[in-house]
Chain A
Amino acid sequence: MLSTLHHPPRRLSRFFPANNKPRHFHTKPVLSSSQPVTDQSPSSTSPPESQILSIHHSLLSREVTATQLAETYLSRLKLAEPQLKSFIHVSNNVLKEAQSIDDKIKRNENVGPLAGVLVGVKDNICTVDMPSTAGSRVLENYRPPFDATAVKKVKEFDGIVVGKTNLDEFGMGSTTESSSFQVTANPWDISRVPGGSSGGSAAAVSARQCVVSLGSDTGGSVRQPASFCGVVGLKPTYGRVSRYGLIAYASSLDVIGCFGSSVADTGILLSAISGHDRLDATSSKQEVPDFTSQLISASLLESKPLKGLKVGVIRETLENRVDSGVKSTVLGAVSHLEELGCTLSEVSLPSFSLGLPAYYILASSESSSNLSRYDGVRYGNQAAAEDLNALYGDSRAKGFGSEVKMRILMGTYALSAGYYDAYYKRAQQVRTLIQKSFKTALDENDILISPAAPSAAYKIGEKKNDPLAMYSGDIMTVNVNLAGLPALVLPCGFVEGGPVGLPVGLQMIGAAFDEGKLLKVGHIFEQTLQGCRFVPPLIADGIPQ
């Protein structure tokens, strides 16, 4: 990223205007030689650069056009798609939008910070010019009459939405196997899952089919696929990013999150989409700092750049239930943080293990309510029926997949009269305990760390018929959603498996609205990690760059 600069760190403080309105921003081209974005020498193990900044620079210095960039990404996308199946829908307008950016540049007009950047959008986020299915037959061919606020902001900053990515239906799942349309493959080993529910968004960034992507995270659906696919995933604080246009799964838990191939890119995308929105009553009015202004070039870091940072390792996440390879990779990350000057200590989060059943009670209950709107009357697929109840019953029976049906039924049970106190209310009480234990731990530590998942990517089909086995994979991530805190996952190492090994992600959890600290720490960790390069074999070997 800024490693291409050979002078003191340039602050990105005006990359995004302070009030987050779409004021176009013109950067001066940097005179040093930066690598064109299409050259990623496979033999180097240098840390990842910000592709967004690199693209911005290349466009403004006329080294490359947005159309050329779009063509490169599209051809890579199409080449990998038969194996990966990351996309449910690819936009027809990519080259047209790229051309209009090129025209603006030719006329010396200002272009936004995301100009020329191809963005994948998870298909449960509404886009007005493309179908938005939430991975479900009940919304097959549904065209929303509006863009989600997050999408609107991406477009305002001149980002190009390249397509809608695959997901587990309505966000319910951890593998994309519950998508009604297709199963996405992991670019590191196509016989394995990419994770879920934002598996398509993670795989697309990992395979460089797009530069960055949007996903959603209700119980880990951005962080776990980021770990499985070897990319950076960020779950913001609840309320940081507007949920307007995010097809609701569990309203008290859902957030829109970001994927990138570097911490910097993830932070730039977060900056673009954050902010209060009057259309989302749960959207926070907390000021949005410029998340990327703290990201300093690696060559300019002092020897212990994180000196004084207190990091708590969550004890419960490194106990028996974790794959030994994952454990040792995370312990390697702990050493790396110590070398950077952090003070590491072990923290215990009481009630940690209760978070998983509490989460599933809350999520199924809320989803049973949120999905009651899919009745075949005002939108979506409608079954032929002679009376109203049959219309509802048959439209929903035909439209929903098995996992969704089961969760609706479980939620209906938990919310039934007489059961509310036993399940939903108790789950909310457990939620209070978890919020309190995080607050205590974060009063004494700057960040907390854990693995992002108990294992690396497993084989497609392995967990399909065992719901509890699949749910247990979420143990590292759900508590963060219950507490509404932000978390960043970045690749920290590999375990055995697949052709060249499988990536493992480290999760960093911060205090509410403290995404800036997570990004700063993550960026330094990433830029100083030696000997690892997180580019999957699908890209490094077979596909022209």
Chain B
Amino acid sequence: MPTRYYYYDYDYNNRTRNCSTTTTRSSLEPPDVPRLAQTARISLTPHEVEEFAPKIRQVIDWFGQLQDVDLDSVDPALRADSETGYLREDIPKTFKNRESMIAAVPSYDEPYIKVPKVLNKE
């Protein structure tokens, strides 16, 4: 099903937005915010879902403009630099400030970091 996307163009001189809409074929489902929130482990309130959904959709639509670029035979760049092969020796070192790390743990019951039960939903 074709979806529309907007070419976002903010004109600073006239403070207007020039939107050109074009349609493009896409089989991608639009963002399902409650499902994404579950995947990302963030408990959103219904109000937040309502507030975020249109903004997220607008940005994802804007991302869609990359679909129209001819990128065949272009390698993806994994990172900015091209230096490789820096390995260090596999020698363990003890981190000295362990007390400070432990002090940062919200629920600590020596020597355990406590969490609530993991419910099994049968």
Contact = CB atoms under 8 A, between A and B. Distances in A.
A409 B78 contact: no
Contact of A419 (B17, B28, B37, B51): B28
A285 B86 contact: yes
Contact of A377 (B81, B106, B117): B106
Given A278-B88, A324-B13, A354-B66, A396 B41 contact: yes
B66 A357 contact: yes
A326 B118 CA distance: 57
B55 A467 contact: yes
Given A354-B69, A455-B12, A467 B59 contact: yes
A143 interface: yes
B20 interface: no
* A239, A396, A412: residue with the most chain B Cβ atoms closer than 10 Å: A412
A321 B14 CA distance: 9
B11 A321 contact: yes
Interface residues of B, number: 62
Interface in B63-117: 63, 65-67, 69, 71, 74-81, 83, 86, 88, 95, 97-98, 100-101, 103-107, 113, 115-117
A186 B101 CA distance: 36
Nearest to A361: B63
Interface string B47-61: 010011001101110
Nearest to A482: B80
A468 B118 contact: no
A109 B87 CA distance: 39
Contact of B76 (A354, A390, A414, A432): A432
Contacts of B8: 468, 472
A391 B8 CA distance: 39
Interface residues of A, number: 88
A281 interface: yes
Contacts of A432: 74-77
A286 B86 CA distance: 12
Contacts of B59: 360, 406, 410, 467-468, 471
B1 interface: no
A278 B65 CA distance: 40
A484 B81 contact: yes
Interface string A390-402: 1111101100101
A358 B66 contact: yes
Nearest to B51: A402
A400 B66 contact: no
A320 B15 CA distance: 11
A396 B43 contact: yes
A420 to B, nearest CB: 11
A517 interface: no
A425 interface: yes
Given A142-B104, A239-B81, A422-B67, A410 B117 contact: no
A426 B80 contact: no
Nearest to A285: B86
A326 B59 CA distance: 27
A71 interface: no
A17 B108 CA distance: 45
Contacts of A322: 12
A372 B42 CA distance: 10
Contact of A428 (B45, B62, B78, B118): B78
B55 to A, nearest CB: 6
B76 to A, nearest CB: 3
A413 interface: yes
A251 to B, nearest CB: 9
A541 interface: no
12 contacts: A282-B79, A321-B10, A324-B13, A377-B113, A387-B116, A402-B51, A405-B42, A429-B75, A430-B69, A431-B77, A433-B74, A483-B80
Given A321-B10, A357-B63, A412-B36, 8 more contacts: A143-B104, A354-B65, A393-B41, A413-B31, A426-B69, A432-B77, A455-B12, A467-B55
